[in-house]
Structure 1
Amino acid sequence: MDKKKVVALEDRLPQLKKERKQRANRRFAFYASLFFLLILIVVYFQSPLSRVHSISVSGEQIVSEDQVIKASGITNKTHVWDIRVKSAEQAVKKLPTVRSAAIDRTFPNKVKITVTEYTRKAYLEKNGSFYPILQNGATLSKLPGSKLPVDAPVLLGFSDAAPLKAVAEGLSGISRQLSHNISDIHYVGKSESGDDLILYMNDGNKIIASTRTFARNIKLYPEIAANLPKGAHGTVHLSNGSYFIPAETKKDTGLQTQTNQ
């Protein structure tokens, strides 16, 4: 067996000292870097650099950018990392036109607010003016001047919030094509039969409906209209059952399309 080479301790001491010094230097560099990093973080949080420098808003069409920013409570005096994101988002959602809101913070001092709004589904006629109605039933400011609604049904006779909301929510669940086929909707009040809505369609038909079942039964109209005799016009009942009465005879044709109540 070969004899192992023996190195005297005094010969190893310089190398051991060198290695120990290198480890000490690395340890010092690490703690020094960590210390300065902490100092920089503290300085950033306490300096104007951490205050909000810019706020951008996207997705707004009905509500203004200023209204969204004001609702969030975020200003140029707010420190970026002091923003309570969830609370600010809930505050923006309280705006009547806003369906959802998301707030993102970008280092070092930028904030982005993204909103999703309720869509306009109808116009309420009141005293000769027209007020946009959103899908949640919220009423916006009247259209300026003599501007007339052309892209959604007109609602007439609605003075209570409940039927207005029921119709707005019902219109939210139908296709754009069907919505554009509705000229105007009249609220005629409570009746023994429950029929409190009259819809005048652009295809020449009239619909009798109820606010209680409007959201569900209005979806049946395209199929009913497609099965009517060619050129036939009249009244479609969509309350407790679905049937058609031609305008000429005012008698039930026997065409039945039952709905589940």
Structure 2
Amino acid sequence: MDRKKVVPLEDRLPQLKKERKQKANHRFVLYASFFFLLLLVVVYFQSPFSKVSQLSVSGEQLVSYSQVVQASGISDRTHIWDVRPAAVEKQIEKLPTVRTASVRAEFPNRVTIRIQEYERKAYLEKNGGYYPILQNGALLAKISGSRLPVDAPVLYGFSRQADLRAVTEGLAKIPQQVIHSISDIHYISAPTDNDNLMLYMNDGNRVVASTNTFARNIQLYPEIAASLPKGAHGTIHLSVGSYFVPDSTQGSAGN
């Protein structure tokens, strides 16, 4: 055996002690860090810093910020870890104007709420006022002011909820281009052959339709209107089949 490679035990002891001390120090730092981190978590959970201090809402137009916050149940006394996004979303979606809600809780104390509302599909005229109707059939409070609504058709003469819902649901299925071509929809109280709707179009024509087939047949209007003689105006019947009856004034003028 080569004696030069043998290290006496008394020479190795200082090195062994040093290595053991370093390992002990590493363990102490690890345990101390873990304890300190745990202490910080406990202090944070018990401190005011864990309560929601920033609550933002986006996407609201028909509903107010305060209504969304109230429906969420979140306040400045709510701890961030108590926010359950799925449960809060369900509460917000109970609002009649809200279609979907997305809730996100962010460390340390911020909550963001994004909503998507139902679209306004019509206005109901009642007692001289105009009440917005959403695509889910919800009837909102009367709009303020005397300005006439121009972003959706106005419904006149509707007293039965079933007829109102049928027309509103029909409008929800119609392309926006077709909706913008409709000015007013009047309910005919004494219908003939189930034709209980009279639509006044923005191009000067009228459409006779039925609540039962309104949503499907009105989508044919752009094609029918485009095929009419230039400058011709009249009534288009869209209940059973489709045909055009020109205004009598136009007929006499042409003779």
TM-score, normalised with respect to structure 2: 0.89
Aligned to 2:233: 233
The DSSP-based 3-state class of the residue aligned with 1:95 is coil
Query: Matches of 1:142 and 1:46 in 2, distance apart?
Result: 46
Deviation at 1:193, TM superposition (A): 3.3
Alignment-mate amino acid for residue 232 of structure 2:
A
- AA in 2 matched with 1:185: I
Match of 2:40 in 1: 40
How far off is 1:91 after superposition? 0.9
CA distance in 2, matches of 1:67, 1:233: 47
* Alpha-carbon distance in structure 2 between the residues aligned to 1:62 and 1:142: 12
Secondary structure of the 1:155 match is strand
TM-score, normalization by structure 1: 0.87
1:7 alignment counterpart: 7
**Structure 1's 130 and 17: CA in aligned 2 closer, same or farther, altered over 3 A?**
same
Deviation for aligned residue 1:105:
1.4
- Show the 5 A alignment for 1:1-261: 5-189=5-189, 193-248=193-248
Compute the RMSD of aligned alpha carbons.
2.4
Give 3-state SS (helix, strand or coil) of 1:196's partner.
strand
What CA distance in whole angstroms lies between the structure 1 residues aligned with 2:205 and 2:4? 108
Any stretches of 5+ residues in structure 1 without a counterpart? 250-261
Match of 1:159, SS state, is: coil
Alignment partners' CA distance in 1, 2:124 and 2:167: 11
Alpha-carbon separation, structure 2, partners of 1:127 and 1:107: 51
Residues 1:3 and 1:223: Cα distance change in structure 2 (over 3 Å) = farther
CA distance in 2, matches of 1:228, 1:122: 27
Deviation at 1:4, TM superposition (A): 8.3
Q: 1:194 to 1:31 in 2, by over 3 A?
A: farther
Larger deviation, residues 48-57 vs 157-166? 157-166
Distance 1:174 1:65 in 2: 30
Aligned-partner Cα distance in 2 for 1:180–1:225: 14
Secondary structure of the 1:88 match is helix
**What fraction of aligned residue pairs are identical, expressed as a percent?**
66
- Please give the alpha-carbon distance, in whole angstroms, between the structure 1 residues aligned to 2:190 and 2:107: 58
Letter aligned with residue 160 of structure 1: R
Letter in 2 for 1:167: V
Structure 1 position 34, deviation (Å): 0.9
Distance 2:174 2:90 in 1: 28
CA deviation digits over 1:38-69, x for unaligned, max 9?
11111111221111112111111111101110
For 1:92 and 1:201, how far apart are their aligned partners in 2? 37
In structure 2, stretches of 5+ residues that fail to align are 250-255
- Amino acid in the other structure paired with 2:108: P
1:188 match: secondary structure: strand
